[in-house]
Each structure stands twice: as C-alpha cells, then as structure tokens.
C-alpha cells in the first residue's frame, strides 16, 4: 500500500463463508464445524494452495472480530483519502473509440 500513499498499511485478500442474518446459531455452529473439518483435508488444502490461498478456518467469533477490524480499517482509508479506493481506468478511451458491449451474467460486468 506504499504506492497508494499508505506506508505501513497492510492489505490482503480473503474469503469467508457467511450466512443470512437470523440464521439459527445451531446451524451456524454446524457449518463452522463442517467447514473447519473440510479445510483440514489434504486434498482441499492442496487445491486451495494451488490457487494461492492459505486456508485458516477458525471460530465464528474470530471471523466476527476480523470483519469488524477490516470494516474499521477500510472505513478509515475511505475517510482519509477516498481516492485510494478508486483505481485508474485500464485503458483510455480516445475520441471515436467504441466501448465494449455490456456483458451479462455473473462476474461479467463492465463499468
């Protein structure tokens, strides 16, 4: 994040399994237990490692704390410098250039 003018600021991508608000605690506990077991499977760990991921797993409380910390951190970044969350365009449109047609479907969106 030094390039963005935020020395000492750490940024990492991460994934989590979330459930809708109001999901019963017993279901959340079961999902947490099952996912943690799955993340210990050597084949799953290898598959994730091959994609560059480092599976951690953990408790529901640990995830809640991580979400709170990430929310606080990124809120501070936006408050201090909203331009830090905007990336430059991938290409510049020149007069007469056509923009690509708008794609449809999951994961296929153009600004």
Q: Give percent of the chain with pLDDT exceeding 70.
A: 67
Instruction: Please compute the mean of the pLDDT values over residues 19-38 and round it to a whole number.
Output: 96
Whether residue 95 has pLDDT greater than 60: yes
Confidence grade of residue 26 (pLDDT, cut at 50, 70, 90): very high
pLDDT at 74: 84
- DSSP letter for each residue of the chain: -GGGT-TT------------TT--HHHHHHHHHHHHHHTT-HHHHHHHHHTT-------HHHHHHHHHHHHHHHHHHHHH-GGGGPPPPSSPPPTTPPPPPPP-STT----
Higher pLDDT, 2 or 60: 60
Mean per-residue pLDDT of the chain: 79
Domain extent listing, the chain: 23-85
- Name which of 15-19, 22-26, 27-31, 95-99 the model is least confident about: 95-99
């Amino acid at each position: 994040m030094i390039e963005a003018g935020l020395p000492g600021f750490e940024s990492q991508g991460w994934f989590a399994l979330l459930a809708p608000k109001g999901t019963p605690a017993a279901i959340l506990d079961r999902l947490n237990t099952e996912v943690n077991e799955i993340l210990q499977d050597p084949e799953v760990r290898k598959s994730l490692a091959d994609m560059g991921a480092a599976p951690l797993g953990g408790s529901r409380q640990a995830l809640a704390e991580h979400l709170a910390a990430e929310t606080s951190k990124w809120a501070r970044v936006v408050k201090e410098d909203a331009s830090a969350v905007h990336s430059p365009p991938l290409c510049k449109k020149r007069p007469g250039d056509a923009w690509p047609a708008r794609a449809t479907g999951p994961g296929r969106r153009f600004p």
